[in-house]
């Protein structure tokens, strides 16, 4: 009499067990695309350095700050906002030289740098002339940039995606199928380059001024064309 009850219990458990089903993986292909946008820079950033060595640290600091004030006054007519002019703190150090194999103390050195962002490249040459009329010690760098670099990079990535989908259509034609939905898109980062340093700006300069003479690498006042590139990887379903 107990056997039918056991069988009915087993049947009840079997009916409650969930049924697992496996779905076939989505047929897909992976393609990549590259896009580029070109534009001339509309910003320049110039960094100069002021440095003096004196027997007394106070004298070196005072003279350095006096020239910095001179550079600030020369720069104000060329900038639009206060944020376009950045000034570092004064750094000090002891200056030594070797004379006949012996280390000789020359004095205390005070150094300060200024960075100016120039939004009107038509005035770049005029501004550089104004800088050279001051007592700066060095032109550390002159680099170019674009105020809409982010949007230009996004545009390059959109072009890269369109090129990737064109590649997918060609592969589908070879496979005799149609392209389905885009399953995944991955951007491989930003890139920009020019003919100079590979990052969208001329190489930084380091030009020392010796009594208005110049030493070191020269720089170009005419910027080169910038190239903003983007690469994407896309996974596309096949119908």
User: How much is the pLDDT for 198?
Assistant: 44
| Number of other residues whose CB lies within 10 A of the CB of residue 189 | 9
pTM: 0.73
Residue 190: HSE in the Cβ half-sphere, 13 Å Cα cutoff: 13
Count the helices and strands in the chain (H runs, E runs). Answer: 4, 10
Give per-residue pLDDT as tens, 132-165: 999 999 999 999 999 999 999 999 999 999 999 9
* CATH class as words, domain 26-42+146-201+221-239: alpha beta
User: Per-residue confidence at 222, pLDDT binned at 50, 70, 90?
Assistant: confident
Cβ atoms of 133 and 37 closer than 8 Å: no
Indicate if the pLDDT at residue 25 is higher than 90: no
User: How much is the pLDDT for 213?
Assistant: 47
User: How much is the pLDDT for 13?
Assistant: 47
% of the chain with per-residue pLDDT over 70? 77
User: How much is the pLDDT for 26?
Assistant: 84
d(C-alpha 228, C-alpha 192), whole Å: 4
- Neighbour-count burial of 193, counting CB atoms closer than 10 A to its CB (0-12 exposed, 13-18 middle, 19+ buried): middle
d(C-alpha 54, C-alpha 44), whole Å: 33
| 163-175 as b/e: b if 16+ CB within 10 A | bbbeebeebbeee
Domain boundaries, the chain: 26-42+146-201+221-239, 43-145
Strands, E, within the chain: which ranges? 28-39, 43-54, 85-87, 91-99, 102-118, 138-145, 179-193, 207-210, 213-215, 226-238
User: Per-residue confidence at 190, pLDDT binned at 50, 70, 90?
Assistant: low
If one looks up domain 43-145 in CATH, what number appears? 3.30.70.2970
- Neighbour-count burial of 18, counting CB atoms closer than 10 A to its CB (0-12 exposed, 13-18 middle, 19+ buried): exposed
- Terminal C-alpha separation, the chain: 59
d(C-alpha 225, C-alpha 40), whole Å: 5
43-145 has the same fold as 26-42+146-201+221-239: no
| Number of other residues whose CB lies within 10 A of the CB of residue 63 | 17
Indicate if the pLDDT at residue 214 is higher than 60: no
Cβ atoms of 200 and 192 closer than 8 Å: yes
Task: Identify the three-state secondary structure at position 76.
Answer: helix
User: Per-residue confidence at 79, pLDDT binned at 50, 70, 90?
Assistant: very high
Give per-residue pLDDT as tens, 95-124: 999 998 899 999 999 999 999 999 999 999
Indicate if the pLDDT at residue 14 is higher than 70: no
User: Per-residue confidence at 188, pLDDT binned at 50, 70, 90?
Assistant: confident
Give per-residue pLDDT as tens, 30-60: 999 999 999 999 999 999 999 999 999 999 9
């Amino acid at each position: 009499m107990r056997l039918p009850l056991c069988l009915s219990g087993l049947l009840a458990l079997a009916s409650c067990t969930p049924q697992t089903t496996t779905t076939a993986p989505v047929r897909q292909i992976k393609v990549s695309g590259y896009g580029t946008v070109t534009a001339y820079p509309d910003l320049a950033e110039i960094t100069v350095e002021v440095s003096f060595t004196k027997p007394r640290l106070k004298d070196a600091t005072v003279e350095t700050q006096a020239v910095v004030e001179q550079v600030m006054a020369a720069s104000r007519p060329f900038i639009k906002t206060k944020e376009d002019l950045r000034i570092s703190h004064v750094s000090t150090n002891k200056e030594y030289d070797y004379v006949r194999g012996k280390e000789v103390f020359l004095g205390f050195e005070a150094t300060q740098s200024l960075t100016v962002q120039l939004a009107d490249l038509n005035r770049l040459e005029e501004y550089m002339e104004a800088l050279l009329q001051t007592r700066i010690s060095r032109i550390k760098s002159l680099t170019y940039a674009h105020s809409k670099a982010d949007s230009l990079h996004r545009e390059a990535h959109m072009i890269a995606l369109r090129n990737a989908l064109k590649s997918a259509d060609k592969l589908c034609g070879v496979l005799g199928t149609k392209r389905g939905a885009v399953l995944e898109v991955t951007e491989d980062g930003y890139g920009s380059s020019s003919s100079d340093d590979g990052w969208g700006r001329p190489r930084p300069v380091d030009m020392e001024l010796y009594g208005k003479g110049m030493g070191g690498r020269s720089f170009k006042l005419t910027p080169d064309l910038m190239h903003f590139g983007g690469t994407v990887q896309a996974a596309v379903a096949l119908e």
